[in-house]
Amino acid sequence: MENTPKIIALRKKRARAETRFRWYGRAGLMIAVFALVFLLFTIISRGWSGFIQTEIQLSVPVDSTLLGIDVSKAIEPQLLYVQTLPLIQEGLKRRFPEVKDRGQLRKLYALISQQAEVQLKHSISKQPYLFGSDITLWLRAGDMVDRYQKTRDRHSRDSANTIKLNDDQKQWIAELDSTGEIRLGFNSEFFTKGDSRGPERAGFLGSMVGSLLTLLICMCIAFPLGVLTAVYLEEFASKNRMTDVIEVNINNLAAVPSIVFGLLGLAIYLNLFGLPRSASLVGGMTLSLMILPTIIISTRASLKAIPPSIRDAARALGASPMQVVFHHVVPLAMPGIMTGTILGVARAIGETAPLLMIGMVAFVADVPRSFVDPATAMPVQIYLWASSPEIGFVEKTAAGIMVLLGLLLLLNSLAILIRKRFEQRW
């Protein structure tokens, strides 16, 4: 066939269309990468400071008179009912003796967080022989001081939107800085304490434990029920109209918005069965309903991928139908089953809407110790911090997102590793 001018023009047009398509794909990929990098940069730039804290070194007089404690009796029980804040205030007045005005004293006391009272109580209870002497401690700084120190090398240090310290407070901080009595250290309490009304005292441990307990309940219900349902539908159930209806509904449930499962949990577990609100038990049972279709679908796909020759060989050797399935088919399909299950758990760990519907949005300061204790989950805790008005919760929110993203990345990496390690090609 001759290359007529019309054919040549068509070829050039097709080549231009293919070139445009490739550039569209490259542009879309670049936009996606840019959006991902921008998102990660925003989260990390705001969240890294949540893992560090500002501490002030202060010499505190351990005076039983100020506390109203009888040193002839056991000290620790008495500390439960007294405030050690007067000792911290006395230490600040000794450190800055020039401050006399009542209003200025209030500003001076704001340099130290109220959480420092707990630190001081702990130190005194462990060392009761300190009464009558001074103790030097690194105490947690107040929220505004913490924000001021973390932004000391940035142009936003004096921003009125983030820093609400007067000139006297900044001068006191500069004096402490010059003598090495103020420092930035790792915020270990972020991983060892529960939530708090004050951003400088808020920790992430309570929500982490709550998520762990919730996922344990979720897995104990969803994994065996989902796998057994998939095995029955794929290996034993007759192919009729009833099984077709069940399969269609399972596929539809996988696409249902998560808040619908929250409403279902609210109606059944709380209103009908009367289970405790804001408990990991109810949260796990609700999330198990949500990931159950995902586990069933992934398990059925894994079972279908097993060649029929495996089943035929097992039957030829005299295996019963149950032995064929549970001794040969299910073990070979287990890598795919585990991959789908882990992806379902990764979805569940990041869900917020179902947990909000069953009351896990409540403020919970204590770390849960059982499945029926009031608890919250990591995404819900992040939501609570994000909706708080205090500026200090901004960094806590971003830090919590970093921890949650790290766990999700770990779970997805584990799923990929299992698939690559145990996957078999037939």
The pLDDT tens digits along the chain (426 residues) read 556 788 888 888 888 889 999 999 999 999 999 999 999 898 888 888 888 889 999 988 887 777 777 666 766 666 667 777 888 888 899 899 898 888 888 899 889 887 788 788 777 777 766 677 888 889 888 888 888 888 765 544 444 445 678 888 889 998 999 999 999 888 888 898 888 888 878 889 999 999 999 999 999 999 999 999 999 999 888 888 888 888 888 888 888 888 899 999 999 999 888 888 889 999 999 999 999 999 999 999 999 988 989 998 999 988 898 999 999 899 989 888 988 888 888 888 888 889 988 888 888 888 898 999 989 999 999 999 988 888 888 889 999 999 999 988 888 888 788 777 766 665
Residue 183 pairs with which residues in a beta bridge? 55
The whole-angstrom separation of Cα 107 and Cα 311 is 78
Three-class DSSP category at 203 = coil
DSSP 350: T
Nearest to 351 by CA among 393, 373, 382, 372: 382
Helix H or strand E encompassing 32: helix 5-47
The first and second tokens of residue 51, run together, are: 């893992």
User: Residues 186, 382: contact at Cβ < 8 Å?
Assistant: no
Helix H or strand E encompassing 52: strand 52-61
pLDDT at 361: 83
The whole-angstrom separation of Cα 48 and Cα 45 is 6
- In this structure, what are the phi and psi dihedrals at residue 140, rounded to the nearest 5 degrees? -65, 130
pLDDT at 155: 47
Residue 137 pairs with which residues in a beta bridge? 58
pLDDT at 76: 66
pLDDT at 423: 66
H helices of 232-279, where? 241-253, 258-265
The whole-angstrom separation of Cα 237 and Cα 43 is 49
Please state whether the predicted TM-score (pTM) of the whole model is above 0.85: no
pLDDT at 350: 86
H helices of 254-329, where? 258-265, 280-304, 308-316, 321-323
Sorted by sequence, the CB contacts under 8 Å of residue 107 that are 6+ apart come out as 166, 168, 169
Residue 74 pairs with which residues in a beta bridge? none
Q: How many helices (H) and strands (E) does the chain have?
A: 18, 3
